[in-house]
Structure 1
Amino acid sequence: MSTDERHALVLGASGFIGRHVVLALGRAGVRVSTASRSRESYERLARWLEGRGHGSAPADLRVDYSRASLIEEECGDVTEIYNCAGAFRFGMQVEEARRANVDSVRAVVEFAARLPSLRRLVQVSGYRVSGTESGAWSEERRRETYRTLGPYEASRVEADAVFRDLAERLGVPWSIVNPASVIGDSATGESDQYLGLASNVKDLWEGALPALPGNGRTFVPVIAADHLARFMTLLPTEPATEGTAYWLLDDDTPALPDLLTLVAEHYGVKAPRARIPASLLKRLPRRLTKADPETLTFLSTDRYPTGSAHAFAVRHGLTMPDTATTVRRWADHLAAHRFGGAPASDRRFITPGGIRTFELGESGAPTVVLPGLPVNADTWAPVVAAIGHARAVDLPGLGMSSGSRDDWPTWSTALVTETGARHLVGHSIGAAAAVEAATAHPQAVERLTLVSPFFLQARPPRAVQWTPLTRLLLSRTTPTALAERLTSATDHAPALRSAVSDLRRGTVAATTARLLAAAANARWREDLRAKLRSHPGPVHVVVGSRDPLAADGQALLDALPHATVTVIDGAGHHPQLTHPEEVALAMGGVLRGQA
């Protein structure tokens, strides 16, 4: 069957696997129709596809799994269906799980049986559920299976049995893919699935994983989302794949404790030394494990029949991406997007000077914001978006970046000479980093914007110079308390949630406390002033009226031939929180939604 003859219908197209299937089909030149529950779901899919270079948007069909017709639009020329629909969610009630995962499968098979041109129905099942049962279930078997496995996994087992039985009886040509834990795209790490293994990764990142689950034989295999999608789209091209199930996973996936240790090493955090056997985890109460009991059934030493999938991939020249590399990229994507808490796409980790650095905004943009204390790059996101062609990075050891104050020279050199930073915007302590970088690379740094530059302002109070107390307070603060401390109001607490999260992770609070104390050091302050005097390019200083320049700081700027000062009325030391519009305007941008 040539590409021109193929017309694919993708069900569940707006889901994680479904949209990768649509993308893979489009790249292969296959005509695609997608069936979504709502126009809003389709529009989200279309935007996602457009952002990844997909050509024309697929046809938009509406699906209702409770309706006998399933889809009202004409589908007579559909040659292949990819059923990626269903609910991947723990904690469901039995009837909810059966509606989402069993009844929907029954409706899809019956719909497929009515299509005159159908050559293949490709069903997504699961590596631990497929082929374990067949035929109709008795009520007793159903009750026992749902009691033993839990609603999610039991519904997938039942759905697999229903699919096989009904497809055979109705004469529907089928193939089944049984993917392992589907992680991110092999090239970008992109994923919006935060259940299962991703929750363990989150605990590692936050330092909340007390012990590594399982032992050296605990096997929780993974597969890259784009590899799975490409494999699926090839199945209808080969007649021999009809009536066959394929287990798709990497047999060489490290044992679970080793896999999590790999992620910990990549994150630069300590992996727990202790290990807790799966058998013990399953007996402990949920209040101790903090894990949904349904997830624990995946902690197994079982292996799976992958031979047919390997052979098929070889015949089609499909090479499985390196799993360790994919896992690292996936872990990066999860952390950069705060495990679902920050879904915007323009977030990533970079490694200037070998320092793992969080960055948001336009990659490679010439304007780079260096945030102050005790906040992070996230607090600058609205201003960065408004400025345009800009990005913000967390300084070494702060926010979500690794490293320490000692890494500043190497890091800033790479930021300027390798990533194209030409306009440095330094806020508070970031102003020090900006001035030091500009002094080291005067020909490369064309502009300096200093927002609330501490070394041109009054010295901080003595209280912040006691590092142990500051560290303790920062590590225990709340968004509300921090907002009140920084802005004298609680309105900006939501914007500070990520900063508080960062302060509770690893050594961030300690690094912040040391830098706050250093800001009072007279020698460093004078050294920064001397470097600013020698800067040959334009300097723009932005301060709040409630956090003014010191008299000698103003005098220094008055003596500089290319210095300008903007005072934002009513703002304090953190104008990006309280007056983002004015900060953006001062830097030549306008906030989205503002005139």
Structure 2
Amino acid sequence: MPHTDSIVFGAAGFIGRSLVAELLRNGNTVTAALRAGSQDRLRTWLAGQHVDIGGLTITTTDIGEPDLALGGPVDGVRDVYNAAALMKFGLDAQVARRVNLDGAVHVLEWAARQPDLRRIVHITGYRAADGGGEQDYGNGAYEASKVEADGLLRRIADAREIPLTIANPAGVLGPGQYFGLSDIIDNLWQGRLPALPGSADTFVPVVDLDYVARFIVALPTQPDTVGRSFPLLDAATPTLPDLIRLVADHLRVAAPRFTLPTALVRRLPRAVTHADPEALSFLSSDRYDTSHSDVIARRLGISHPPVDELLRTYADGIVAGRNGAVPPTPTAGFRDGTWLTGERTDPEYVLLHGIPLNGDSWAEVIRELNAPALAADLPGLGRSAVSARQFGDWMEELMAPVRTRPVIVGHSLGTWAAIQFALRHPDRVSRLVLIAPAFLQQPASRLTGSPIAAEVVKRMSAATIAARLGIPEGPALASALADLRRPGVAQRTWSALRAAGASRDELAAALTRVTVPVDIIVGSDDPLIESTDRPVTTITGTGHYPQLTHPDLVARFLRGDSVSAASHHHTTSSS
């Protein structure tokens, strides 16, 4: 194995991979020790972080084995970081002990045999400090195994004079963390949090991932940290009720008004509480002394980001990733209640969806465009909050930070907002593209031939809706359905559909007053029934949603590759 400065166990995990990235950025040679099958996951993540991996060696390990399945010492290793753990509720006691207890001891003893060892840093939970002895695994094997390991490692290190430092991070917040607090935020977002477990002074501390990585990586450089434990948390974290109110205000959803004692919540059915009983043990009023950690942090020149900003950004990530169900889009998040994805100040394209979709319906088109684009969920639809503003006023706010003259693209209902802005600010729009403008097409529900109760739509399967809309099943439809099943969204979608039908003549008249260049795209199965003097391009073999069925062709039209402003009607084949 090549010479290496540092080795990180659990290197493909949430904290471990950030340690690897920080070490590499600092110029260290690093061995990433991880379970078989995780190599590609780590490489992909590091590539996404634009980390130079020239100094990286990847090896597989099994910390459940006394020799870690490494076959001997690693040449030159000075610093050993153990971020390997089973971080999951509902673990079998033997499984938890094999990794979180026995595995931790194996790493400690392996590190002690390294001839150039400077430090071993063990990463565990903030509630594990000063634990030890036998634990009650009946209340949860995850925390019990971590607490027991904490005490045992200290005793072994003291007896054998092994240079051990323990880092005790609290709830680490960063992209890709779906554990603990994420479930509470997701339940809040989904309307499944009528009351909050705990009490008015329940304290669930959080800490920023970058802060944790920088702090832990630097511990071996600080001689006075040997034999000590460092809680890593932001003491400015608000109490849990205040934290949830802050997040609820950002998401524009109702915060729970009441708290319930955890003892009572434990007795309620999980189908009612949507809470893992094991997670309830983390809900306490305990506070933690971070004074020693703060001294080291100041010495290293690192500080916590504002906790309110950290929480808002983290909540955006929970919504964007559907709490771990899908890969999150890093550029997605809320601004003043509107859900935005993409480039917010310098887009070449601004994309507005139709019913029953959301901004994710443009994902394939944006990929084909390969240009800065901004997609927004319309007010009250998708993930955006309800707004009393009319489309024109909402577009004013959406476009306020935009410094470019973009192409504004509206699909179906989205054409309402696009036209309103083009009328108000023709100098700020380079071109208007209307895809399937419903006010010029046959008035009908896109799901059935008759009005649909919103609750019926919520119960439809993805396959049924895809067949009736004439679109493929896929991420765009799955995203739209996830939103429609949130409280109130399906009803607001149906109301918007009815309101749009009542304003057909108004929009048709407004279109005649638009002075910027306008192009219209429709599918051959959903043609215009109203006449217009604007250029119309027809894509054959599709209906009301060409951006989902033929994103490559739509992207070409948006770029202007196949659209002629001087020509009245084009027909483009999908074959």
TM-score, with normalisation over the residues of structure 1? 0.86
In 1, Cα distance between the equivalents of 2:82 and 2:216? 11
In the other structure, the counterpart of 2:511 is 532
Task: Please state if 1:183 is matched with 2:173.
Answer: yes
In the other structure, the counterpart of 2:74 is 75
Gaps of 5+ in 1: 135-140, 185-189
- Give 1:104 deviation, angstroms: 1.7
The alpha-carbon distance between structure 1 residues 365 and 463, as it changes in their structure 2 partners (threshold 3 A), is closer
- AA at the equivalent of 2:173: I
The alpha-carbon distance between structure 1 residues 514 and 287, as it changes in their structure 2 partners (threshold 3 A), is closer
Task: Please state if 1:61 is matched with 2:58.
Answer: yes
In the other structure, the counterpart of 2:526 is 547
- AA at the equivalent of 1:383: V
Alignment map for 1:54-453 (pairs within 5 Å): 54-65=51-62, 66-70=64-68, 71-72=70-71, 75-133=74-132, 141=134, 145-147=136-138, 149-184=139-174, 190=175, 192-351=176-335, 354-360=336-342, 364-389=346-371, 390-404=373-387, 406-419=389-402, 420=404, 422-453=406-437
- Give 1:9 deviation, angstroms: 1.6
- AA at the equivalent of 1:77: G
Bigger CA drift: 194-203 or 471-480? 471-480
Q: Deviation per CA, 1:466-510: give whole Å up to 9, x if none.
A: 99x6444444444334323322x8x52764222122123243223
In 2, Cα distance between the equivalents of 1:165 and 1:363? 56
| Alignment partner of 2:29 out of 28, 31, 49 | 31
The alpha-carbon distance between structure 1 residues 118 and 217, as it changes in their structure 2 partners (threshold 3 A), is same
| Alignment partner of 1:457 out of 441, 446, 456 | 441
Contact conserved, 2:458 with 2:485, CA < 8 A, in 1? yes
Contact conserved, 1:416 with 1:445, CA < 8 A, in 2? no
In 2, Cα distance between the equivalents of 1:361 and 1:103? 48
Larger helix share, 1 or 2: 1
- AA at the equivalent of 1:62: T
- Give 1:233 deviation, angstroms: 1.7
Aligned residues: 557
Task: Please state if 1:484 is matched with 2:475.
Answer: no
- AA at the equivalent of 1:121: I
In 2, Cα distance between the equivalents of 1:416 and 1:547? 30
The alpha-carbon distance between structure 1 residues 62 and 55, as it changes in their structure 2 partners (threshold 3 A), is closer
Q: Any idea what SS the aligned residue of 1:547 has?
A: coil
Bigger CA drift: 275-284 or 368-377? 275-284
The alpha-carbon distance between structure 1 residues 42 and 502, as it changes in their structure 2 partners (threshold 3 A), is same
- Give 1:344 deviation, angstroms: 4.3
Bigger CA drift: 536-545 or 105-114? 536-545
TM-score, with normalisation over the residues of structure 2? 0.89
The alpha-carbon distance between structure 1 residues 165 and 573, as it changes in their structure 2 partners (threshold 3 A), is same
The alpha-carbon distance between structure 1 residues 179 and 442, as it changes in their structure 2 partners (threshold 3 A), is same
| Alignment partner of 1:510 out of 470, 491, 494 | 491
Q: Any idea what SS the aligned residue of 2:332 has?
A: strand
- AA at the equivalent of 2:539: I
The alpha-carbon distance between structure 1 residues 201 and 58, as it changes in their structure 2 partners (threshold 3 A), is farther
- Give 1:109 deviation, angstroms: 1.1
Q: Deviation per CA, 1:131-164: give whole Å up to 9, x if none.
A: 2115xxxxxx45xx212x3111111122223322
Taking every aligned residue pair, what percent have the same amino acid on both sides? 41
| Alignment partner of 1:41 out of 35, 38, 42 | 38
| Alignment partner of 2:537 out of 548, 556, 566 | 566
Q: Deviation per CA, 1:192-230: give whole Å up to 9, x if none.
A: 122211101000001111211111121211111111111
In 1, Cα distance between the equivalents of 2:378 and 2:218? 45
Contact conserved, 1:27 with 1:54, CA < 8 A, in 2? yes
Q: Deviation per CA, 1:355-387: give whole Å up to 9, x if none.
A: 432325798431122110011122221222122
- Give 1:174 deviation, angstroms: 0.8
Contact conserved, 1:404 with 1:511, CA < 8 A, in 2? no
Q: Any idea what SS the aligned residue of 2:501 has?
A: coil
In the other structure, the counterpart of 1:499 is 480
The alpha-carbon distance between structure 1 residues 166 and 461, as it changes in their structure 2 partners (threshold 3 A), is closer
- AA at the equivalent of 2:430: E
- AA at the equivalent of 1:578: T
Gaps of 5+ in 2: 562-573
- Give 1:6 deviation, angstroms: 9.1
- AA at the equivalent of 1:97: A
- AA at the equivalent of 1:49: L
The alpha-carbon distance between structure 1 residues 23 and 347, as it changes in their structure 2 partners (threshold 3 A), is same
In 2, Cα distance between the equivalents of 1:6 and 1:74? 11
Q: Deviation per CA, 1:419-451: give whole Å up to 9, x if none.
A: 236111111001121111112121221122211
In 1, Cα distance between the equivalents of 2:54 and 2:15? 17
- Give 1:315 deviation, angstroms: 2.9
- Give 1:290 deviation, angstroms: 2.8
The alpha-carbon distance between structure 1 residues 44 and 436, as it changes in their structure 2 partners (threshold 3 A), is same
Q: Any idea what SS the aligned residue of 2:6 has?
A: strand
The alpha-carbon distance between structure 1 residues 358 and 298, as it changes in their structure 2 partners (threshold 3 A), is same
The alpha-carbon distance between structure 1 residues 574 and 209, as it changes in their structure 2 partners (threshold 3 A), is same
- AA at the equivalent of 2:179: L
In 1, Cα distance between the equivalents of 2:180 and 2:405? 39
In 2, Cα distance between the equivalents of 1:332 and 1:432? 27
Contact conserved, 2:448 with 2:468, CA < 8 A, in 1? no
Contact conserved, 2:33 with 2:61, CA < 8 A, in 1? no
In 2, Cα distance between the equivalents of 1:414 and 1:370? 14
Contact conserved, 1:368 with 1:423, CA < 8 A, in 2? yes
Bigger CA drift: 528-537 or 267-276? 528-537
Bigger CA drift: 256-265 or 20-29? 20-29
Bigger CA drift: 289-298 or 527-536? 527-536
In 2, Cα distance between the equivalents of 1:121 and 1:570? 63
- Give 1:303 deviation, angstroms: 2.2
In 2, Cα distance between the equivalents of 1:203 and 1:498? 17
